[in-house]
């Protein structure tokens, strides 16, 4: 079956107007699909096949999609999985038809910023170890994170497989000493992306990450208005910022 999508979604995805503006334009007879005036803004169209025009100008369906997802816990950073819900399962059909994939991975229990796109080139460049794109996390860590950890992370710590991490910037936000064990709230910026890196860095100093949230990747900052499980398209400025990371 061919993918179909609402006419107003095609036009709004292309940044041509809001859904309500498009509804009005359709009523005014300004939109045609395959040379027929279409007054129903909810008409299902095949954007790759149908010839859609607004005010007599062809609407060229765009190729790429860039989404900011606030990943919830319990879903995996993959496009398909036999057992678990994936980040792609959180999307509507309207986005899924672009066949986006996650740029890098967050663990199943990690929450926060995840970029989804079908732009393989941008993804590759953001993930390239040569680019050192910084990623910032907030974490709750069981243990009394202190100055010695800041110093160790700044120099580089040795992970369980012998890998020595690149310099990372650790900031202590607060300590909760009310329970039987101290829980430290920290912010950490790393410039690489080894498997379970943040958790393993804390393990290397004898501490355990119990909550992990990514808040930024390069210039892209998690939108605080975006609830977990929700997503939105990147703004033009956000996308331009990310594209600059590769220059
Ligand atoms: N580091 C981790 O340990 N887990 C993540 O999901 C991301 C970074």
Ligand 1 neighbourhood includes 196 CB (under 6 angstroms): yes
Q: Reply yes or no on whether 107 is catalytic.
A: yes
Cα distance between residue 36 and residue 83, in whole Å: 45
Query: 94 pLDDT band (50/70/90 cuts)?
Result: confident
The architecture that CATH gives domain 5-58 is: Roll (3.10)
Beta carbon of 106 within 6 Å of any ligand 1 atom: yes
Name the pTM for this structure: 0.81
Specify the CATH superfamily of domain 134-217. Answer: Alpha-L RNA-binding motif (3.30.70.1560)
Q: Is 143 left (phi over 0), alpha (psi -120 to 50) or beta?
A: left
pLDDT of residue 2: 63
pLDDT given at position 117:
98
CA-CA distance, 54 to 46, in Å (whole number)? 16
CATH T-level fold of 66-129+220-245? Alpha-Beta Plaits (3.30.70)
Whether residue 201 contacts residue 160, with contact meaning beta carbons closer than 8 Å, is answered with no
Whether 247 has a pLDDT exceeding 70, the answer reads: no
């Amino acid at each position: 079956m061919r993918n179909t999508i609402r006419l107003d979604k095609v036009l709004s995805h292309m940044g041509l107007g809001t859904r309500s503006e498009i509804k009005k334009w359709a009523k005014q007879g300004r939109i045609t699909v395959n040379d027929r005036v279409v007054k129903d803004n909810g008409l299902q169209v095949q954007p790759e096949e149908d010839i859609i025009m607004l005010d007599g100008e062809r609407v060229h369906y765009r190729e790429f999609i860039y989404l900011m997802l606030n990943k919830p816990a319990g879903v995996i950073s993959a496009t398909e999985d036999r057992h678990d819900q994936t980040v792609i399962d959180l999307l509507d059909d309207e986005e899924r038809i672009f066949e986006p994939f996650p740029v890098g991975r967050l663990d199943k229990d990690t929450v926060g910023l995840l970029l989804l796109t079908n732009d393989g080139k941008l993804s590759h460049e953001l993930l390239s170890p040569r680019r050192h794109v910084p990623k910032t996390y907030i974490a709750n860590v069981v243990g009394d994170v202190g100055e010695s950890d800041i110093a160790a992370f700044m120099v580089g710590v040795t992970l369980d497989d012998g890998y020595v991490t690149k310099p990372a910037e650790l900031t202590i936000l607060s300590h909760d000493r009310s329970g039987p064990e101290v829980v430290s709230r920290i912010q950490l910026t790393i410039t690489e992306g080894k498997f379970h890196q943040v958790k393993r860095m804390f393990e290397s100093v004898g501490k355990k990450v119990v909550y992990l949230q990514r808040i930024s990747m390069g210039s892209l900052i998690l939108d605080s208005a975006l609830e977990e499980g929700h997503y939105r398209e990147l703004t033009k400025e956000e996308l331009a910022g990310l594209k600059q990371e590769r220059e």
